A and B are shown apart, each in its own frame.
Chain A
Amino acid sequence: MSLVALSELLGATVRDASGTVRGRVRELAVAPQDHPTRIAYLIVRTADGERMLPPDALRSAGASVRAATDVAQWERFSPSDGLLLLKRDLLDQQIIDIHGRKVVRVNDVELESTPVNSHLLLNVVSVDVGARGAIRRLSKGVVPSFTLRALLERIPPRVIPWQFVDLLETDPARRVKLKIAYKGLAQLHPADIADIVEDLPPAEREAVFETIDEEVAAETLEELDPDVKVSIVESLDKDRAADIVEEMDPDAAADLLGDLPEEQSARILEEMQPEERQEVTQLLEFGEHTAAGRMTTEFISVSEISVVDDAIEALKGFEGSREALATIYLTGPGLKLVGAVPLVKIAISSPAIQLSELSEPYLACAPDTPEDEVAALFDKYNLITLAVVDEHGRIAGIITADDVISMLRHRD
């Protein structure tokens, strides 16, 4: 078992069983439908066109390649788009490093060559993104190979194991054939995905958002820079966009749709479920920079005569964001806001206590309160949530501290 670099193999001379030089290695192909890491064959440029040479017909592979079969047995190569070609699709291209949570460029690819019954198995094990791969390629053919090997051994490697690599491919048809699914990426925290997505070119961004789970996509979208957010949603088709927007917090969704051109946001709204659509439309009607424009309509309110147990039931059924859970609001006759109970109190009180006994003094503001005043209230009273009430004293929505933080951060 030994490691061999893609850059060593590319351009290596290929000898057939008789020992005669027959050509040079041009490409290495992986067929992901058959095996995710195994090299299906080397593409060899011979005097008589391009031929495929599978590793099980190889005796050795390195700076020179020795085949166990005769050139006449090597099949002719015909291109197919279900192949991952290491030089074309990987070398010098960008990939997502799941472990390091960033976008990196591939300097070299490391393969593991395992001898099995007098032939070889070649597997992709890692990609080299550090100086070692770069220097190996830059000095190939310039520096004598033994000096180069000694030099390279002194450079600490920076490699990413293959299982932590997500490939980037923009063509949807090919993506399916290559089984590229951004599996690793989708497991990261949405804020990390957002950082990675911002580093990608538009076509790749779109590809990521077409593929990952809607819920993850929605959370990621909320974390993105407003301009990037808009350009991504504009590039998606309206069904997909609507699916993702539905999963977003209504206030974030309203902000986003407010930033889109009118006809486009109308088309997305049309595709949304009636319930979500109504919530978002309501929010859209308020000015973006007011309390109502910043609030979410997903919060917990229960009647003031309920007990702690009822509040816990309401918590279980709640689908909104976790930030909105911090306070449970109490309503009186005519659905007027009459009290607020912090989550902590619910957690430490016995199930039968009536909620009105736990109620604390609370703060509320009108829907048209400017966002600056909202921020001032949060600052002065150290709030976690703030209720927004309409002219009849009914609670219309709440603003959470994280909304205020992002509002302050994004103000120009």
Chain B
Amino acid sequence: MLALLKSWRVRIALFLSVVGPGFITASVDNDAGGIATYSVAGAQFGYSLLWTMIPITIALVIIQEMASRMGAVTGKGLSDLIREEFGLRATFLLMLALVITNFGNVVSEFAGVASSFELFGISKYIVVPLAAFVVWGIVVHGTYSTVEKVFLSASGFYVAYIVSGVLAHPDWKAAALSTLTRPESLGFRNYGYLSMVIGLAGTTIAPWMQFYLQASIVEKGVTARQYNTSRLDVVVGCLFAAIVAWFIVVACAATLHTSGQYNIETGAQAAQALRPLAGEYAYLLFAAGLFNASLFAASILPISTAYAVCEGLGLESGLDKRFEEAPAFYWLYTALIVFGAGVVLVPNFPLFHVMVLSQVANGVLLPFVLIFVLLLINDRELMGAYTNSRWYNITSWITVGVMIVLTIAMVIAQARG
């Protein structure tokens, strides 16, 4: 009995020792932009888009799993591997695109922070600088393990969305049915419906995740032998993120869509519209969740960008270095936060155009990143026995192919306005 208890304790300890990177990455995926997209999907199309959740989750798991496997086996970040295998020029262009798209993401996170607090009547001129300062401080003054604990708690806070989904009293049966049944083909003839499907897929799988996940697996020191437990972390994280996303769609579908409020554009508007329909608590949780998600992603994006860029380009990086030792690293990190937050505060700034530009950069970047990931993971010299199996490869090439087509479609749609 004692031995059994001990073996369970060991197993749980083993899981806890690798849990983190996958869970955090998947959670950050539900950032300000993600919450907005899920809210709009629920408000406009009710339960009818819930079927996308399962395929999107599968794609997310497949793509994330490869990044974390590469991190565990090679002990190197994705930008390092791209640099070593594909040279300086490819890396440079990729990093340039990464900075542009991540800058747009940072802006949208700070916009999320601003709008969530404006719901409570607090000015963005107070909240955004404060948030920027907190973000800067957490990362600069924390060690990897303390920062990870903060981040894991932030991931836990996503439960707020599940609760607010329950408070919205959805039609559970209808929601479950449309999650599990095939979509009606009629819907696809509708341009808005189709672009929403693309939007959902695009917001879920983003290039920064690959860099961040692989880098944190490396930083955590996960090795090939611990990899099985690490894979569990990725799968559990993706499932949790998908469940949260599902509840956001359901909450908006059950309230906004049912009462005919189709025209929302942001997470904050969704929270506002929820208030009279689902009650004070649902509203508060939704708004607090938005703040948490935005701040969380705003903490991760700048630092992960700085790491990826500096490592890829061979510049000194790391928080254990002093400013003079790693100037490029600290400048890039600080600039992303200062300008990302600053832009939100400039009156009449064309925020929308920044977002579109960043989405386009995102769309251009993603196919390359995914293709590089697939090429690298099948490189026997690099991965040894850990390359993709044949069936896994077929599945992942199909997934990547579909993602690329969807992303290109999204870029075209966005460019046409």
Taking Cβ atoms with an 8 Å cutoff, the residues of A that contact B are 91-94, 102, 104-107, 129, 134, 137-138, 201-203, 227-228, 231, 235, 412
Contact = CB atoms under 8 A, between A and B. Distances in A.
B314 A129 contact: yes
Interface stretch (B80-88, B123-131, B297-305, B401-409): B80-88
A102 B145 CA distance: 24
A134 B223 contact: no
Interface string B213-242: 000001001010000000000000000000
B313 interface: yes
B223 A93 contact: no
Nearest to A129: B314
B89 A202 contact: no
Nearest to B84: A92
A35 B45 CA distance: 71
B88 A107 contact: yes
B84 A137 contact: no
Contact of B83 (A92, A202, A412): A92
B314 A138 contact: no
Contacts of B89: 137-138
A94 B311 CA distance: 10
Contacts of A105: 83, 313-314
Nearest to A139: B89
Nearest to B91: A92
Interface in B55-94: 74-76, 80, 83-84, 87-89, 92
Contacts of A203: 74-75
27 contacts: A91-B87, A92-B83, A93-B84, A94-B80, A102-B316, A104-B314, A105-B83, A105-B314, A106-B314, A129-B314, A134-B88, A134-B92, A134-B313, A137-B89, A138-B92, A201-B74, A201-B75, A201-B76, A202-B75, A202-B223, A203-B74, A203-B75, A227-B221, A228-B221, A231-B223, A235-B223, A412-B145
A138 B223 contact: no
Contacts of A202: 75, 223
Nearest to B218: A201
* Interface hub of B92, B313, B314 (most chain A Cβ within 10 A): B314
A94 B81 CA distance: 11
Interface in B291-319: 313-314, 316
A256 to B, nearest CB: 16
Contacts of B223: 202, 231, 235
Interface residues of B, number: 17
A105 B88 CA distance: 11
Chain A contact residues, majority secondary structure: mixed
Given A92-B88, A134-B88, A201-B76, A231 B145 contact: no
Contacts of B145: 412
A41 B87 CA distance: 22
A129 to B, nearest CB: 7
A137 B314 contact: no
Contacts of B80: 94
B145 to A, nearest CB: 7
A235 B75 CA distance: 13
Contacts of A228: 221
Contacts of A138: 88-89, 92
Top 7 nearest A-B pairs (CB, nearest first) are A105-B314, A201-B75, A202-B75, A201-B76, A137-B88, A227-B221, A92-B83
B248 to A, nearest CB: 36
Nearest to B93: A138
A202 B76 CA distance: 9
B324 to A, nearest CB: 14
Nearest to B92: A138
Contacts of A106: 314
* Interface hub of B84, B218, B316 (most chain A Cβ within 10 A): B84
Interface in B24-82: 74-76, 80
A126 to B, nearest CB: 15
Nearest to A225: B221
A102 B314 CA distance: 12
A227 B145 CA distance: 12
Given A92-B83, A92-B88, A412-B145, 4 more contacts: A134-B88, A202-B223, A228-B221, A231-B221
* Interface hub of A102, A137, A138, A202 (most chain B Cβ within 10 A): A202
Contacts of A104: 314
Contact of B314 (A107, A227, A231, A235): A107
A129 B89 CA distance: 15
Contacts of B88: 92, 107, 134, 137-138
Nearest to B87: A92
B301 to A, nearest CB: 24
A83 B223 CA distance: 30
A323 B218 CA distance: 35
Nearest to B315: A105
Nearest to B89: A138
B69 to A, nearest CB: 14
A412 B144 CA distance: 12
A272 B88 CA distance: 47
Contacts of B92: 134, 138
A352 B75 CA distance: 60
